[in-house]
A and B are shown apart, each in its own frame.
Chain A
Amino acid sequence: MTVREVAVEAYREGLPALGASVVGGLLAGVVLGGMRGEFRAVPGLLVLVPALLATRGNVYGSLGARIATALHQGLIEPRVRTGDDRLQRAVAAAIANGLLASTFAAVVAFLVLTLIGSGPAPIATLVAIALLAGLLSGIALSLTVVLVVFAGYRRGYNPDTLVGPIVTTAGDVFGVAFLLLAVRVVLRLGGT
């Protein structure tokens, strides 16, 4: 193959996945753009945004890859209704890791911001927001990844190529949407 042929093929194969993630990223961005009030009310929240979004991608991307491999190996059936133990444990582990990483991010961000004297919101507020957003987006993303990978596999698509675009697109949208919801709930309960 010539360089040109390789480049044209790679371009064509990359475009749909990137296009989907651009749409998801723009929607997430619009929600983020509307959160200026929340960012002013919770100093330090903006610092958490890249870590929380990346956690969604890393944790649920890995869950998707694990499910895709298990489907290839015939370890699990592509049906939700059979209530497979393996599947339930993989989802539980993913959500647990997501919550741990979110809490870790909130604590580290609080410590660093306190050290550099930039006056973050109370640690309880940041951790509560990270946990609630992590739990809600974790449930939504697990469902999305499992359902789309199963449906795609049953229709003959390679689950490996489905996982990346699904997780990045849904991760951005759910990640930001549930972050907004979590901030509002925590601020309401905290009485501010």
Chain B
Amino acid sequence: MTTDWTVRAIMRAGLPILLTLTLVEIGSGLVLGSFEASLLRYPTLLVLVPVTIGTAGNLGSILAARLSTVFHLGLLSFEPDDELLVGNALATVALALTLFPVVGAGAWGLQAVVGGNRLSLGTIVLVAFTSGAVLSVLAVVVTLMTTYAAYRFGLDPDDVVVPVVTNVCDVLGVLVLVGVVTVLV
């Protein structure tokens, strides 16, 4: 980073991307808002919102950070048989498939303690698991596309890929959760 350590310089370096990402997040908020009635009727679904958004964003950002590092080391080829690419992508899906059932069970358990559930444990775990499976595949696709774009345009993936991937995965988190709930609940 070559930004000066003055308040004005630091603010100016961050604001354009910050306000752009805020607009994108308002878009996902509008989707969430259109779904408000269901969320208020079934509080367990509301419990799932931050954890689904956060985990989706983190899955993407962890993969992006790892790919950026191997990219900087000159080890990444964008070939479908690249071991580092395929191995990291598989790990992302495996992390989602093992963590999201825990997320569902945790949300149901905590809500049972504080206020009670109107949906069964099985439904919530199924919603979380399905959302996680879909999101992990989307996170891999988005991260690969963004990393590849950064590579093609000669941008430093650390500056661009992580914030873009995290926020796109945030938005996808809301869309996928709303979509899965619409189908399953």
Contacts and interface: CB of A to CB of B under 8 A. Distances in A.
Interface of A: 1-11, 13-15, 17-19, 21-22, 24-30, 32-36, 39-40, 44, 46-51, 53-55, 57-59, 62, 66, 69, 75, 85-86, 89-90, 92-94, 96-97, 100-101, 104-105, 108-109, 112-113, 118, 164, 168, 172, 176
Nearest to B96: A18
5 contacts: A25-B103, A48-B26, A93-B8, A97-B11, A105-B22
B54 interface: yes
B179 interface: no
Contacts of A172: 50-51, 54
Given A1-B87, A33-B115, A51-B26, A176 B18 contact: no
Interface residues of B, number: 69
Going nearest first, the 7 A-B pairs with the smallest beta carbon separation are A6-B87, A25-B51, A10-B91, A29-B47, A93-B10, A51-B25, A47-B29
Interface string B20-47: 0111011011101100100110011011
A96 B22 contact: no
A55 B18 contact: yes
A164 B21 contact: no
Contact of A33 (B65, B87, B114, B163): B114
A168 to B, nearest CB: 6
Contacts of A108: 22-23, 26
Main secondary structure of the interface of B (DSSP, over half): helix
Most buried by B among A93, A96, A100, A105: A93
B21 A54 contact: yes
Most buried by B among A6, A17, A69, A86: A6
Given A6-B88, A94-B10, A109 B54 contact: no
A11 B58 CA distance: 13
A84 B37 CA distance: 49
Most buried by A among B54, B57, B170: B54
Contacts of B5: 75, 85-86, 89-90
Contact of B110 (A6, A26, A58, A113): A26
B184 interface: no
B73 to A, nearest CB: 13
Contacts of B46: 29, 32-33, 35-36
B59 A18 contact: yes
A33 B44 contact: yes
